[in-house]
């Protein structure tokens, strides 16, 4: 049998419609998130990512993989029309040239907002289907923070979603989708996809699974029970959604991939969605007011390991602009000792530190430039440059193990008792190496303040004495009524009074 030719492409973005920083092509390129052809295996082979799985599957099944593009950048504002259309053109023109192919594998996020389309991912898959025709199986993977619409169910044959937050199962998710794709290419299954949603933009505890309890954990158990009870159900994808996308299909969604039986798939999707609706207001975390967080930080340590402070509302991993200063200002005002903060994105400040050199004392206006009205404007600090770096970090923790995250030119600036990572790029903290490259051992710190929401918990929580989250005034607030949504479906919970 001739080897299967599998066309694979990645196009990922989690878009916050009210973030001031557009997700344009320059932003994808600057962060190293625009990779073509041979750059893709060089970056991802052997990593705990979807691409790592695709190359493993290729080795296992003898696929010839055609891989023209992987586009991915830290969450930010909407993707401009010309950027999306560039990605679509690269993918579709390479696909036309590659035909015939026996399968298509698209690794998407699902929460992309563009300036011109209601459903960016659904439209891409619709166009791909238009090229390959009805009989070539198309597999899609999604981040469970997808705001996905029904077009994916209509035009894809397999939809698999992450099952963990922090997302430590990227490879596993793509392996699942890829084995189904292989079976579909062989003709041993005939997958169909059902889709369900409810009038809610927030539920399932934003997909958190790390604490081992809560509605996301429970619904995944129910999904496993559904699958165990009927072997026609091949895969069940549960998406919690990303609340800050002004997109018609914002909010939780469920995809059930079944062997031939769409009615069974739909019934399972609806049963699970009922559970998501009933549990929609249960959350496992709380954002503390700054005063309350600082009182905890000032108190004597109640155990070993650092106090972990997640700066939830200014996390670049959730489209926070990543240069907000409210938390740092509070830490300075409270004279915290043995503390570190990662990171403030401020390229000019990073360059000033690098130019001054290790050991120099610098005074500069740090951060707060991208969106001073949210999360705090620039603050004047004086500190000693402790280390400088090119900012390239190879992750060693459980999240996206082996892949690279990149601060760009960066420095560690000691301001009183606080070591501040000053970076060029907006980067969320998700791996201990992000402090170690500057010579800091995170385990030994008293306090670690991180621009972080969920993913850092995979590597950090086990060493911390306690984890708290702070409301610092950034743009990913839990008060959704303050955002001017225009494109979401209404009525919708919790903005509208739905019982
Ligand atoms: Zn996610």
Give the Å distance between the CA of 251 and the centre of ligand 1: 13
Give the Å distance between the CA of 454 and the centre of ligand 1: 9
Q: Where are the alpha helices (DSSP H) in 230-356?
A: 262-278, 290-298, 326-333, 347-356
What is the reported pLDDT for 1?
Answer: 66
Q: Read off the pLDDT band of 31 (50, 70, 90).
A: confident
Query: Distance between CA 129 and CA 138 in Å, rounded?
Result: 8
Q: What does the pLDDT average to over 108-136?
A: 98
Q: What does the pLDDT average to over 469-492?
A: 94
10 Å Cβ neighbour count for 42? 9
Give the Å distance between the CA of 330 and the centre of ligand 1: 29
What is the reported pLDDT for 2?
Answer: 80
Give the Å distance between the CA of 32 and the centre of ligand 1: 19
Give the Å distance between the CA of 145 and the centre of ligand 1: 4
Give the Å distance between the CA of 186 and the centre of ligand 1: 32
Give the Å distance between the CA of 196 and the centre of ligand 1: 19
Give the Å distance between the CA of 70 and the centre of ligand 1: 17
Give the Å distance between the CA of 144 and the centre of ligand 1: 6
Query: Distance between CA 365 and CA 373 in Å, rounded?
Result: 16
Give the Å distance between the CA of 383 and the centre of ligand 1: 35
Give the Å distance between the CA of 11 and the centre of ligand 1: 14
Going by DSSP bridges, is the β-strand pair 339-345/418-423 parallel, antiparallel, or unpaired? Answer: parallel
Question: Could you report the per-residue pLDDT of 249-263, keeping only the tens digit for each?
Answer: 999 999 999 999 999
Give the Å distance between the CA of 476 and the centre of ligand 1: 14
Question: Could you report the per-residue pLDDT of 54-83, keeping only the tens digit for each?
Answer: 999 999 999 999 999 999 999 999 999 999
Give the Å distance between the CA of 162 and the centre of ligand 1: 8
Question: Could you report the per-residue pLDDT of 179-236, keeping only the tens digit for each?
Answer: 999 999 999 999 999 999 999 999 999 999 999 999 999 999 999 999 999 999 999 9
What is the reported pLDDT for 178?
Answer: 98
What is the reported pLDDT for 499?
Answer: 80
Query: Distance between CA 292 and CA 283 in Å, rounded?
Result: 19
Give the Å distance between the CA of 337 and the centre of ligand 1: 33
Record the tokens describing residue 10, joined without a space: 């990645």
Q: Rounded to two decimals, what is the model's pTM?
A: 0.94
Give the Å distance between the CA of 300 and the centre of ligand 1: 34
Give the Å distance between the CA of 73 and the centre of ligand 1: 13
Give the Å distance between the CA of 14 and the centre of ligand 1: 8
Is 90 exceeded by the pLDDT of residue 342?
Answer: yes
Give the Å distance between the CA of 316 and the centre of ligand 1: 12
Please give the helix or strand (H or E) that residue 309 lies within, else none.
Answer: strand 307-311
Domains (range + CATH), the chain: 5-278 (3.40.50.2300), 287-480 (no CATH)
Give the Å distance between the CA of 427 and the centre of ligand 1: 15
Question: Could you report the per-residue pLDDT of 265-276, keeping only the tens digit for each?
Answer: 999 999 999 999
Quick check: helix, strand or coil at residue 322? Answer: coil
């Amino acid at each position: 049998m001739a080897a299967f030719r599998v066309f694979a492409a990645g196009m990922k973005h989690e878009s916050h419609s009210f973030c001031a920083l557009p997700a344009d092509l320059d932003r994808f390129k600057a962060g190293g998130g625009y990779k073509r052809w041979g750059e893709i295996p060089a970056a991802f082979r052997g990593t705990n990512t979807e691409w790592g799985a695709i190359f493993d599957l290729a080795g296992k099944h003898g696929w010839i993989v055609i891989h023209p593009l992987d586009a991915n950048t830290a969450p930010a504002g909407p993707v401009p029309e010309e950027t999306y259309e560039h990605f679509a053109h690269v993918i579709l023109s390479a696909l036309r040239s590659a035909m015939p192919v026996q399968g298509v594998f698209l690794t998407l996020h699902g929460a992309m907002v563009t300036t011109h389309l209601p459903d960016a991912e659904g439209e891409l898959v619709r166009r791909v289907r238009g090229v390959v025709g009805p009989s070539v199986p198309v597999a899609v993977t999604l981040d469970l923070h997808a705001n996905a619409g029904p077009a994916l169910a209509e035009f894809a044959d397999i939809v698999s979603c992450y099952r963990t937050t922090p997302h430590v199962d990227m490879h596993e998710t793509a392996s699942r989708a890829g084995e189904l794709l292989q079976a579909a290419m062989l003709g041993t299954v005939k997958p169909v996809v059902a889709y369900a949603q409810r009038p809610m933009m927030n539920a399932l505890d934003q997909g958190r699974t790390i604490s081992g309890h809560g509605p996301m954990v429970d619904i995944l158990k129910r999904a496993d029970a559904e699958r165990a009870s009927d072997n026609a159900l091949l895969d069940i994808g549960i998406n919690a959604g990303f609340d800050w996308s002004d997109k018609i299909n914002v909010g939780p969604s469920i995809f059930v991939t079944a062997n031939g039986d769409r009615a069974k798939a739909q019934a399972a999707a609806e049963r699970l969605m009922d559970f998501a609706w009933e549990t929609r207001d249960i959350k496992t975390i709380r954002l503390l007011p700054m005063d309350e967080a600082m009182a905890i930080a000032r108190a004597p340590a109640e155990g070993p390991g650092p106090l972990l402070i997640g700066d939830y509302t200014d996390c670049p991993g959730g489209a926070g602009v990543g240069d907000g200063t409210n938390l740092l200002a509070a830490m300075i005002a409270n004279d915290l000792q043995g503390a570190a903060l990662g990171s403030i994105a401020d390229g000019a400040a990073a360059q000033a530190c690098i130019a001054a050199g290790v050991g120099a004392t610098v005074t500069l206006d740090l951060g707060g430039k991208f969106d001073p009205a949210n999360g705090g404007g620039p603050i004047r600090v004086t500190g000693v440059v402790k280390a400088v770096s090119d900012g390239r970090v190879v992750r060693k923790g459980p999240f996206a193990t082996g892949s690279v995250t990149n601060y760009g030119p960066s420095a560690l600036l000691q301001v009183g008792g606080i070591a501040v990572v000053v970076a060029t790029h907006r980067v969320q903290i998700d791996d201990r190496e992000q402090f170690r490259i500057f010579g800091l051992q995170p385990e030994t710190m008293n306090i670690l303040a991180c621009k972080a929401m969920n993913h850092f918990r995979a590597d950090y929580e086990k060493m911390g004495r306690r984890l708290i989250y702070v409301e610092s005034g950034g743009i990913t607030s839990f008060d959704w009524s303050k955002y001017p949504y225009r494109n979401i479906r209404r009525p919708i919970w919790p903005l509208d009074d739905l019982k």
